[in-house]
Structure 1
């Protein structure tokens, strides 16, 4: 029993450290290129270095940390190539999700989508960027469920995580929430009305909204990006 509790406690520590660092990185409180000390994080959480290493490894797998032997771990800079790759994967998957959602959307599903949009509108009134970001994930997850390919959200969420930092900059600095809600409304309307091509067109427009943010950040904070 003591061994089981020890394993459970370690997993809890890893999750807590991972959640904390993920929030710091995705919100850009930890910025691209910032150094992170394994020893300092371990001291902050009152744990050994092993849970910190495990959390670092998970973040590295998400392409958020750069871990190099005998060198300081740092928050990974943006990569133009990886952003392009992520866009390609998401557009391919989400196009198919939207076509299937259009074919499968029931009256009950339409009500669920409407509720999602109402919740988004409410947090916009409160100017709550973090809540809107969570509801954005929920909207795409709901669409996958309607499409009867819930597993597709695993791919979408993994790719979204890679650009969340850029998305958060866009939301906070450019007041993009109303525009993104409008995209969601147009996507949902097309899905509910059975117009799959319109749904895909609006979906691809939605994905392209990040382009201007990338261009702006690249010109103003070139050090946030890897040298290509």
Structure 2
């Protein structure tokens, strides 16, 4: 529970990059001893969300340009193949599933619910993996997407991004339902590129959120 709660706090930007957290404070928050907190910190460090420094304060990990580039490359490679397979395999019931995902996203948009939309974004990509017959591919997409979720939340909060992302999902869904592989890949590529300009803008406006890298 500690890992999941802290992961959510970090991903949703309730704990900002560079924020300091301590074992005693977290232990008091959850009413546990320090050992389970220490274990949770270790897991979160392995997930790339915390930076544990001996004899210094533990920090929420800042963004790494190199890690972001690597994560997005891996995700794009996997997701493009998923889209090709989904377009080849999609049947009527699969199309209804994609339509249902989009309907829920539009409800989140109407409510201005960014957290709900973020989860529904995961659900859409999970559904596409299922249609493609490679549900295990979502494990990779999920892991890589988690690494940039904080940037996505910044983008959603600073810009009116939800309508654009829903339009992207709708174009992907239509191409998949129609069996148009390359059109699905093109729509997916555009979708994944949406964060590029935001990353550059955040680097300028919030340089302190990024690690110093040569």
* TM-score in same-fold range (> 0.5): yes
* TM-score grouping bracket, smaller chain normalisation: over 0.9
1:172 deviates by 1.3
Runs of 4+ deviating beyond 2 Å: none
Mind listing any 5+ residue stretches in structure 2 that lack a counterpart?
A: none
The question of 1:56 aligning with 2:44 is answered no
1:6 counterpart residue number = none
Secondary structure of 1:118 counterpart: helix
Aligned residue for 2:48, secondary structure, equals: coil
The whole-number CA distance in structure 2 between the counterparts of 1:44 and 1:129 is: 26
User: What does 1:130-169 correspond to in 2, within 5 Å?
Assistant: 130-169=115-154
Residues 105-130 of structure 1: CA distance to partner in whole angstroms, max 9, x if unpaired? 01110010011111111110111001
Q: Give the distance between the partners of 1:144 and 1:112, measured in 2 at CA.
A: 12
Larger Rg: 1
Q: Which residue of 2 aligns with 1:181?
A: 166
Q: Secondary structure at the match of 2:59?
A: strand
- Tell me which residue corresponds to 1:23: 8
Question: Deviation at 1:99?
Answer: 0.5
Instruction: Find the residue that maps to 2:15 and give its secondary structure.
Output: coil
Q: Provide the rounded CA distance (Å) in 1 between the counterparts of 2:139 and 2:41.
A: 21
Post-superposition offset of 1:22: 1.2
Q: Deviations over 1:72-115 (max 9, x none)?
A: 11000000100100110000000010011011101110010011
Residue aligned with 1:63, SS: coil
How much is the aligned-residue C-alpha RMSD, in angstroms?
0.8
Superposition deviation, residue 187 in structure 1: 0.3
SS at match of 1:74: strand
Distance in 2 (alpha carbons) for counterparts of 1:174 and 1:220: 14
Aligned pair partner of 1:120 in 88, 105, 119: 105
TM-score, normalised to structure 1's length?
Answer: 0.92
2:54 aligned partner: 69
